[in-house]
Every structure is written in C-alpha cells, then in structure tokens.
A and B are shown apart, each in its own frame.
Chain A
Amino acid sequence: MLMNLFKFKGGVKPPTNKTQSVGQPIAAAPLPSRLVVPLHQSIGGTPRPVVQAGDKVLKGQLIGEADGWISAAVHAPTSGTVVAVAMHVQPHPSGLDALCVVIEPDGKDEWITRQPVDYKALTPEQVRERLQQAGVVGLGGAVFPTHGKLTASKTVAMEEMVVNGAECEPFITCDDLLMRERAEEVVRGIGIFRDLLQPKKVLIGIEDNKPEAAEAMRAAVKAVGENFEVVAVPTLYPAGGAKQLIRVLTGKEVPASKRSTDLGVQCFNVATAYTAWRAIAHGEPVVSRLVTITGNVHEPRNYEVLIGTPMDELLKLATPHPDTDGIVMGGPMMGFLVPEPGVPVVKATNCLIAHSDRLFPPKAPEMPCIRCGSCAQACPHELQPFEMYWFSRAKNFGKTQEYHIFDCIECGCCSFVCPSRIPLVQYFRFAKSEIWAREREKNAADQAKERFEFKQFREEREKAEKAEKLAKAAAAQAAKKAAEAAAAAAAGDAPAPAAEATAPAPAAAPSAADAEKAAKLATIQAAMERAKAQREAAQPKNTDHLTPEQQRAAEEIESRRTSAGLVPPETPVNEKSE
C-alpha cells in the first residue's frame, strides 16, 4: 500500500475546524414547508420544466428535462404539489434570479416506481444516459454532469482514475461522514465509473486528517473485492482541488489549456460515485445530498438534505448562535455569503457555515501590495498573483492573461497569506469576468465587421467583373479594327499618311498574332484595373463615387488607350511574365 506521492507547490494550512461536525452520525433533515428546486443545477444547458403549477408530483419524478448533452435532469425531491414554476433568487454571489419549481410537500414522501438495474447488463451508452436522466452531477462543487466525463478518450489511454475524498476545505465534513457511513456504496459507484472508463488504476485520495474515512473505505474496497488503492494524502489546502489531487497521486500536472483526460486521468468526487450507485442500482435520481451545517451554531452536524430546502430552515436544525448574521455556502476558503437566507440548497451545496464576526472577524483595511511574494509562494498553480493583481487593478487585462490568469483556480491561498489583506481572488474574478465580457463584445463586433466587409467585397467584385467584361469587349473590338487595318495595309490601297503608316504598321503587321496580343494586353489591363480598384477602395481618390456613366466613360478611355498602344509604363514588367 506504500506508494510514491508527489507534491504540489504552495498551499496553505488554515485551521481545519472539522472536529466540531463529525461527532454525530448523519441525520435526515425533516421535510421543509416548501421546496424551491432550481432547474439549472449543473454546468451546461438549463433543463426545460416539464411540470406546471397545480401538477401533483412524486418523489423522484422528472421536473426538468436535460437540455443537450452537457446538462442533467432535475427531479422532485419529495411528493407534493407544484405551486409555481417561477423565478427565485439563487444561492449565488450575484444574487440573480433563476427559474425554479416550487413544490409544497404532501408529507408522504412517496417515491415514483424506482427501477433498479444491473448496470453490467447495460451498454456504456445506456449507463451514461441513465446517469444523465438521474441528474448525477459532480458533487465536489463544480456540478459538471457526470455522464459527460465517462467517455474514455479515443487517443489517450486512461491510466489512472482519481477519486477525490480529500475534502481539504476547512469546516466541511460531508464527504468524511459519507465515506465513514456509506463506504460500500461509494466503492460500488466507483466500480461503475471504472467499468466505463477502464483505467489501469483507481486511486482514492483522502487527506490524512480523516483516518476513520480512509479505514472505512479500505474495508469497503476489500469487502466488495475491488483493487482500488486508498491513499492518505498530506493535509494541505487545496489538496482536494482536482488538479492538485491528480498531481499528488499521479505526478501529472493538468494545465488550464488541457483536459485531464488528455493526460490519461479522470477525477470524480466520492459523493458523485455514491449518487451514481444509488441512481443505477436503486433507480433513485439525485434528490438529496449531504450537507455539513456548522460554524456559529450550537450543534454542528451533517444532514441528508432534500434539494430545494430553504437554507434558513435548515440552519435552524443546528441552532445558530444569536449573533449569526449570514450563511456561507461552501467552505471558508472558496465559499460565499448567500444573498438571502431563504435561498435553496442545490446540488452544489456541500456546507453551510453560520457566519458571525466572532467566527470570521472583519478584515483589516486593504493596504498597498509590498510585493513580498507570499502569494506567489502560496499559489498551488505557481502563478504570480501580485503581478496579476497589479494588472487587474490597472484593467490591463491582456497582461493578466500573459500572467496566466485563467490558470487561477480561485482557491484563495493568495488572499489567505497576503499581509496587505488584499482580496486578490476578487480582483482575479473581476478581471476574468471583464475579459469574458469583452470577448463576447468582440465576437459580436467581429461578426458585424465580417458581414460589412463581405458586403463591401461583393460590391467590389461585381464592379471589377463589370470592368473586365467591358475591357474585354473593347479589346476584341480593337483587335478586329487592327486586323481590318492590317488587311487593308496588306491589300496596298489607301496610302496612309506617313506618321500613321509608321506608327500602327509595326504593331499591326503580324496581324493574327497581334490580335491575340492585344487581347492579352486587355486582360492584363483589366487585372490592373482590378488592382487599382482595390487600391482605390483603400485610399479614397477623386475618381471615387463616379456615376455609372462617368465610370463607363473612364473605362472606355482606358481601353482606347490600351488599344492605341499607350499602355502604362508597368507593361514591360508585365511582359516579362509572359
């Protein structure tokens, strides 16, 4: 079981504050008075509502249908009546509203007919589809639809599957408790993923401050008869970041520009594996999840919570202290204060921390950066946060990208160590969102520009084609005339004036060949005309904006000059190419 672990640079060691909430087993949170289930709970398309106000729904019944491949279905968390499909404020720092299905529970908590299957009898496509239909998404926080991660790369062999039980954020213990109490189902879920991806190795990473969970997982692996390796990784925030855990367990570094599968690795959270197993083997879609309720409360604990439960109702279970003044969703390093206490629990909600100034003292005012470099030393992605801060502040977003701002995972290590108390991550989020906004604007502008330029190009082309046609006609006429003159000269009648006779005669003498040459010249002329037209398009001249008549007159003059042999001085150059 001894394996060679790798290190990632940087990282910090905030006080873990985990012991408070692991003292008691998982409890089921009681049915709330009302459930507000957002339709958009995963990365990708927003599911379409398939119910309307007044509909009776059963627990696990589909209420939102996946929209596209990267999207996951949403289900009724309990049986009851849909009272509204309406906009509701979301547990998101923006405080924006989104479409939700509001359900009034009937108290029976009555399931739909569940259809457990043996996934081994299904094709991989069928398993993926079932997972999508069951709304299985990454429960580590990113909520990426899991089925979308379960197709092996065709070009790169899947070497390692990393299962993330690290849970590095302080305060959060829901994965710890899940592994302690439901290890077997987690292991079976991992088995499904393994069978779909066929990796050479399965590595389960758990931070070494959770020995009970690691022990339970080892026992479960043995009991199920799998060969997964359960690896205790050093406790160092953010060891539970997917990229950091992959680094620690495999030595591979996944840059922002690549997917982990390009390097033959895929990573899943333990809770995701658990829900996948429930979905396949029990026919239960994701309607609840484990949530750690902790912070400024009397009785911190982990609860099994229905999706859509209002956070304020949930928080009451842990009896918050009277000075609680807000709810943090997620951990203290990457979490955020929810815009209002009544927002619903979603699939991404792993932890609620009752906030108070006693628990998280207000930050000292921001000081100027002294370039001490602590942030660079703490950055697990080896970035130079103080440089990115400088350019974000100056709104020099191009420079922030040169310093790889999109490799920033917003883990908060830089802000944590900054002696000047600069909220660095905030600056980076600001810069990123500005860059995205500009990108969108630029794309829109580019499209408009492209349309305009194509229109211009088309008009130019039509003009040039017309000019060429005219030139050709004129040249043909001139050739005909020249041939006639040559014929006349050959006949010997009509003694031409001396000047005239000497000038056209050499040109006209070898008549047939000459007519051909004249036509060629006319073509060259037309080509030059086009080039000139292009130049003129770039540089306005007094010959711009001519009326069609004037244009034609000018062209005729030009073609006459050509036929008269008064070709512009470029012609010799052109002749060389003949």
Chain B
Amino acid sequence: MFAPAPFLLKDTSVSQVMTQVCIALVPGIAAYAWLVGPAILVQLVIASLAAVVAETAMLRIQKKPLAMFLSDGSAIVTAWLIALTFPPLAPWWLVAAGTVFAIVVAKHLYGGLGQNPFNPAMVAFAICIVSFPALMSQWPSVGLQLPLVDQINVILGLAPRVDALSGATPLDAMKTALKLGEGSQDVAALLANQDIYGNFAGRGWEWVAFGYLVGGLWMWQRKLITWHVPLAFIASLVAISGALWLYNPAQFASPLFHLLSGGAMLGAFFIATDPVSGCTTPRGKLIFGAGAGLLAYIIRVFGGYPDGVAFAVLLMNLCAPVIDLLTQPAIFGMKDAGKGDRS
C-alpha cells in the first residue's frame, strides 16, 4: 500500500536542516581561523571524526539504520559546536572525549536524535570544564599564531604545551583582573592598557562573534530558527549587563563587551536555539532565551567559570518542559477562551 496524504511534500529533510546549520557556522569559523590559525579546522576534523565513530557505534549497538541516521548530520553539528567552544589548542583527546561523551551519553543514552533533554555539546563542555579545568582554560595568547605544524603538534601532544597557551579569554582575563584587584582595578583602565581586549571585547574575537551573528541572521532568514530565542538572549544579556554597567562602570563591563565576548553570540544563535532541548512555544522561547542570557551573565561575572553560556543553557534545558507546558499558545478560534482554558 502507498503512503498516506499528503502526497506532495516540501523539499526538506533533517540532513538539509543540519547542513544549513553547518553552513551558517562558516562565517564564524572563518573569522576564528583567521584569528587563531588553522588549528580550529583541525579540531573540527577531530571532533567530527569522534562524533561519527561514536554515532556509528551507538547506532550499531541499538540496531538502528546506519545510513539514515549518519546522514542526518546532527552528530556533525554537535561536533562542530564542541570544537568551537573548546580552547582551539586543547589536546586532541580532550576534544574527542568530550564529543564521544556528548554523542554516547548526552544523546544516545537518552534515546538518540530528538530525544536528548540537554544540549549534547554543552554537556560535553560542562563535563570537560569540571573535569579538566586547567586544559579548558588555556587559550592562545593574543597575537600569537603558531605555524600549522606547531599547532597540530600541540594538539596531538607531540610538542610541549608552551607558555603561549597560558592565556585566558578576554572575558576570563577581565574577571580575574577585577577580582584580584578587589576594586583597585578599573574596567576602563583594563581596556585601555591591555592589548588583549581590542576595541570592544577582545582583539579579534569581535569578528568571530560578528561571524556567528551573520550566520545566525541567515538561519533566521531561512526560517531555520525564529527570532525569539536570540533576541530574548541578547536583550536580557544587554539589560542585566547594562544595568550593572550604568550602576558602576568601573567594576562592570559594558553590554557590548559581554555581547561580543565568550560564547554569547554562538549561544544566542546556535546553542540556545537547539529545538530538541529548548522551548518550542513562542512565549516559551522568549523565556528560554531571556533566562539563558541572564544566567550566562550571572555565571560569567559572579561565578567561578570563564564563561557561563554552557551552564546557562543546561539550566534552561532543565526548565524547558515546564516552560513549554505553561506557555501553550491559544489556538485558532479559542483566543478569547484561551486564558481560562489552561490555568
């Protein structure tokens, strides 16, 4: 017998969706590679290979169709997000282990594609930063670009992890300086004196953030994501950082600094928008995005980790089901009755 109606289908598929997400990441990746060198491309390859191996193994074990699920591209998206959130010169096994953990535990042990309650890439980040805090905090010093061979050697552990890697992200550096200074340090002075911060939020990192913004807007234009989550994320991050910045500009960095540093843009457009682990109703998406932005700020400014996006997203993943339940939109013809209908 034939498949039921509709007989006409839109030309779309999960792999098309995932491929477009990967394409949307390209501007950010390009800026990243320009900033820190081709090491990031190596990490993307390592993470992708680890993801494919882990995915294949898990599909085998569960006797799920290999070709269908391997070609859906979801594992690659997870892998790329891991590679882009980990330090670019992190040892290969750290990236691989994070990816395997994401695919095996965060994705397949929860039922595979579409079933994971938590964003797998963010689970990998959280696990690794808790387990290997030092390695996860080693970012290349600004302005230093090792030749490709040296970068690969560092990643593969064939060369010593040189001092050049002891740098912190601008976000981390700012926090540490402010904390150590205990009030004696001043944001304006830090920005003026240290080369690492560049014009807004970290030399070169603004361009990476800008790349993610461009890719994110493209996804919005292609209707892969809606505006709700990114806008709410950015708005809440700007609101809280702006409020504290106005309150004490010497101790709190500007909204622009927070928007363009760390994982803010990647988080707003590519991570918090993950439909599987996020909210799905329009109002739910607004709450999810706003909550993630707020938590990201609190964690990155007042918490002990260099950035807060991963934990913020995971915490909001926890809340997503109940937010969705409580924000069901009124349906056609029930908009007046809708309020009393679901109380």
> CB within 8 Å of B: which residues of A?
8-9, 12, 14-15, 93, 170, 243, 247, 253-256, 258, 326, 328, 330, 332-337, 353, 355, 359-360, 362-365, 367-374, 376-377, 380-384, 386-387, 403-404, 407, 412, 415-421, 423, 425-426
| Sampled A-B contacts (29; CB under 8 Å) | A14-B10, A243-B332, A253-B333, A255-B331, A255-B337, A326-B2, A330-B5, A332-B7, A333-B6, A336-B4, A337-B1, A367-B69, A367-B72, A367-B114, A370-B275, A370-B276, A374-B223, A377-B226, A381-B331, A382-B331, A383-B331, A384-B329, A404-B331, A412-B6, A415-B5, A415-B6, A419-B17, A420-B13, A425-B6
Residues of B within 8 A of A256 (CB): 333
CB atoms of A337 and B2 under 8 A apart: yes
Chain B residues whose C-beta falls within 8 Å of the C-beta of A367 in the assembled complex: 13-14, 68-69, 72, 113-114
A386 vs B328: C-alpha distance when bound (angstroms): 13
What 1/0 mask marks residues of chain B from 130 to 170 whose CB sits below 8 Å from any chain A CB? 00000000000000000000000000000000000000000
Within 8 A of A (CB), among B10-44: 10, 12-14, 16-17
Distance in Å: Cβ of B55 to nearest Cβ of chain A: 14
**Contact pick for B8, options A253, A332, A384, CB 8 Å:** A332
Q: Which residue of A lies closest to B6 (CB)?
A: A412
B290 to chain A, nearest CB (A): 18
Interchain CA distance A364-B113 in the complex, whole Å? 17
- Please determine whether B5 and A333 come into contact, CB atoms closer than 8 angstroms: yes
Query: B275 to chain A: which residues have CB within 8 Å?
Result: 370-373
Chain B contacts for A426, CB-based, 8 A? 4
Q: Does B61 contact A (CB under 8 A)?
A: no
1/0 contact trace for B272-290 toward A, CB 8 Å?
A: 0001100011000000000
Question: A334–B6 contact, CB under 8 A?
Answer: yes
Contact of B113 among A8, A370, A377, A403 (CB under 8 A): A370
Minimum C-beta distance from A519 to chain B (A): 54
B331 touches A421 (CB 8 A): no
B5-A373 in contact (CB<8A)? no
Closest 7 CB pairs of A and B: A255-B333, A412-B6, A253-B333, A368-B114, A360-B7, A381-B332, A332-B7
Contact B331 A370 (CB under 8 A): no
Instruction: Specify which of B2, B7, B17, B335 is in contact with A253 (CB 8 Å cutoff).
Output: B335
- Give the residues in chain A near B328, CB-CB below 8 Å: 384, 403
The SS class assigned to the B binding surface is loop
- Which one of A334, A369, A370, A377 lies within 8 Å of B5 (CB-CB)? A334
Report the Cα distance A273→B243, complex, angstroms: 65
B331 x A369 contact (CB < 8 A): no
Is the Cβ of B14 less than 8 Å from the Cβ of A416?
Answer: no
A12 to chain B, nearest CB (A): 7
Residues of B with C-beta under 8 A to A407: 331-334
Residues of A within 8 A of B281 (CB): 376, 384
**Does chain A have a CB within 8 A of B65?**
yes
Q: Which residue of B lies closest to A372 (CB)?
A: B275
Contact B280 A384 (CB under 8 A): yes
Does the CB pair B5–A425 fall under 8 Å? yes
- Chain B: which residue is nearest A386 at the CB level? B280
CA distance A170 to B275 in the complex (A): 31
B180 within 8 A of A: no
Q: Kindly provide the distance from the CB of A371 to the nearest chain B CB, expressed in whole angstroms.
A: 4
How does the 8 Å CB contact mask read for B198-219 relative to A, with 1 for contact and 0 for none?
A: 0000000000000000000000
Kindly identify, within residues 58 to 84 of chain B, every residue whose CB is under 8 Å from any CB belonging to chain A.
65, 68-69, 72, 74
Majority DSSP secondary structure for residues of A touching B = loop
Q: Count contacts on B: residues with CB < 8 A to the other chain.
A: 39
A426 to B, closest residue via Cβ: B4
A255 touches B14 (CB 8 A): no
Count chain B CB atoms within 10 A of each CB in A355, A412, A419, A426 and give the residue with the most: A419
Query: Hey, which chain A residues are within 8 Å of B113, CB to CB?
Result: 367-368, 370
* B115 at the binding interface (Cβ < 8 Å): yes
Q: A371 contacts which of B10, B74, B280, B332 (Cβ < 8 Å)?
A: B280
Tell me whether B330 is interfacial, beta carbon within 8 Å.
yes
In the bound assembly, the distance between CA atoms of A377 and B282 in angstroms comes to 10
Q: How far is the CA of A404 from the CA of B1 in the complex (A)?
A: 30
Residue from B1, B6, B17, B335 in contact with A416 in the complex, judged by beta carbons closer than 8 Å: B6
CA distance A14 to B6 in the complex (A): 10
Q: Are A368 and B12 in contact (CB under 8 A)?
A: no
Q: How far is the CA of A253 from the CA of B5 in the complex (A)?
A: 26
A403 neighbours in B (Cβ, 8 Å): 328
The answer, yes or no, to whether B112 is at the interface (CB within 8 Å) is yes
Q: How far is the CB of B161 from chain A (nearest CB, A)?
A: 38
Inter-chain contacts of B74 with A (CB < 8 A)? 370
Return the contact of B334 from the options A255, A374, A415 (Cβ within 8 A). A255
CA distance A557 to B16 in the complex (A): 86
Is A360 touching B17 in the complex (CB atoms < 8 A)? no
- Chain A residues within an 8 Å CB radius of B333: 243, 253-256, 258, 381, 407
Q: Assuming A370-B17, A370-B113, is B12 touching A255 (CB within 8 A)?
A: no
Q: Contact between B332 and A416 (Cβ–Cβ < 8 Å)? A: no
Complex alpha-carbon distance, A359 and B74, angstroms:
30
Q: Does B189 contact A (CB under 8 A)?
A: no
In the docked arrangement, what's the CA distance between A14 and B9, Å?
8
Residues of chain A with a CB closer than 8 A to B332's CB: 8-9, 243, 247, 253, 255, 380-383, 407
Q: How far is the CA of A377 from the CA of B17 in the complex (A)?
A: 16
- Complex Cα distance, B224 from A377, in Å, reads 11
Q: How far, in Å, is B34 (CB) from chain A's closest CB?
A: 32
Q: Are B5 and A12 in contact (CB under 8 A)?
A: no
Q: Are A370 and B114 in contact (CB under 8 A)?
A: yes
Check A355/B114 contact, CB under 8 A, given A255-B334, A373-B275, A382-B330.
no
